[in-house]
Amino acid sequence: MPLDNSAQICTAAAVLTAAVCFQGWRILNKPESKHTATERSAAIVHGITGLIGNTPLIRINSLSDATGCEILGKAEFLNPGGSSKDRIALYLIEQAEKSGQLVPHTDSCIFEGTSGSTGISLAMVARAKGYLCHIVMPSDQAIEKSQLLERHGATVERVAPCSIVDKNNFVNVARRRAAEYGADDKSGTRRGYFVNQFENPLNSDAHYRSTGPEIFQQTNGHIHAFVHGSGTGGTIAGVTHYLKQQVPGIMSFLADPQGSGLANKVNHGVMFAATEREGTRRRQQVDTLVEGVGLNRLTRNFANLLKPMQGDSKGKCMLDGAVSVSDRDAVRMSRWLMANDGLFIGSSGAINCVTALHVAHRLGPGHTIVTILADSGQRHLTKFWNDQAMVSLGHDVNAPATLDIFEQQ
């Protein structure tokens, strides 16, 4: 029997109302990872620091298609300062302001010892907030990092690489410069602040509060493994701690460059690297062309990963394994990703992706693995992305024909 006009109108109104409500529900419940670029850029942010964080999580197609896993990279190179270090630069400076250690526009200066990326981030945030910045870095780091620091208005001091126990180690020099700065200021307003990223627990706290929650939200909690290297240990410690609290059974793996002893420490309990054998060492610190990650000592941030999580009756450390990645494979992976995905990443991102590939083979198809693409290859043009330099060290700079080459270890 046909409906009368009033019934038809009521039915249409009900359908329309339901549709509007459903669309509203979809908008309110849409996961952040599905937001379009237009939606992300709709809000006005307050200054350059407002652009820090909330970086996209991208599917690395070539690695995912080859393994049957979803291998995802967090595009930290899209932070305004060009790396994941923007997060700790902002967080540590803000915490120093809250505690009264820093006051803007007082001629105070931020000091740090860094391989480059943290310094660039600190210099950017310092300028935005009204501070000076003095960066001490090893002289064997890519020169473009020093140039970027200078363009950001920082004072750059390059020192010869040496052990952390040496008073002239870049970290120790930065600490000393901070103590000397403002010593003659009787008012006490002109201060030197030493960031101390390697031992400052606020480093990992920054990633516990930002990077970890972002990954959890972007994956809707559907994640089986996290992969990352360790320089200061802040990123891997903060993200691992957060995700292990949120996702039962999630695994975390260390990506470690050759020459670093951390992988052996995780896997066998002893700090050792093959390049430490007598007569084989070519370089001070960690003997690798990879910059920013790898150590032969335990930082405070990384050491916390070797302890069991609170409430873990088995007493296991928070890391589930480590992969030692050769310089050869780091170069190969960087060229593979450029040739097959158009991804132009730095050396630490390359070893992360090699490790993610190994973890995918270990876990098997159907798993989701997240790693960090910390910075762009633009910071490595004179070294890691300099084909002539790589060839002189015996590396093949042609993109591999197949990923099978990475399994031959």
Q: Is 167 a catalytic residue?
A: no
Catalytic residue among 85, 145, 244, 265: 85
E-strand stretches of 139-205:
155-159, 192-194
Tokens of 74: 């967090």
* Four-CA torsion 155, 159, 165, 166, nearest 10 degrees: -120
Choose among 87, 158, 146: nearest CA to 120. 146
Question: Does an H or E element contain 70, and which?
Answer: strand 70-75
Strands 192-194 and 57-59: unpaired
Angle between helices 327-341 and 347-363 (to 10 degrees): 90
| Rounded Cα gap, residues 57 and 76, in angstroms | 9
Asked if 154 and 134 count as a contact pair (C-beta separation under 8 A), the reply is: yes
> What count of other Cβ atoms lies within 10 Å of the Cβ of residue 364?
10
> What count of other Cβ atoms lies within 10 Å of the Cβ of residue 389?
14
Three-state secondary-structure class, residue 386: coil
DSSP symbols for 123-180: HHHHHHHT-EEEEEEETTS-HHHHHHHHHTT-EEEEE----TTSTTSHHHHHHHHHHH
Strands 321-325 and 70-75: unpaired
The set of residues, in sequence order, having a beta carbon less than 8 Å from that of 75 and lying 6+ positions away, is 55, 56, 57, 58, 373
| Rounded Cα gap, residues 318 and 316, in angstroms | 6
Backbone angles phi, psi at 72, to 5 degrees: -115, 140
Distance from chain centroid for Cα 148: 19
Residues with catalytic annotation? Answer: 85
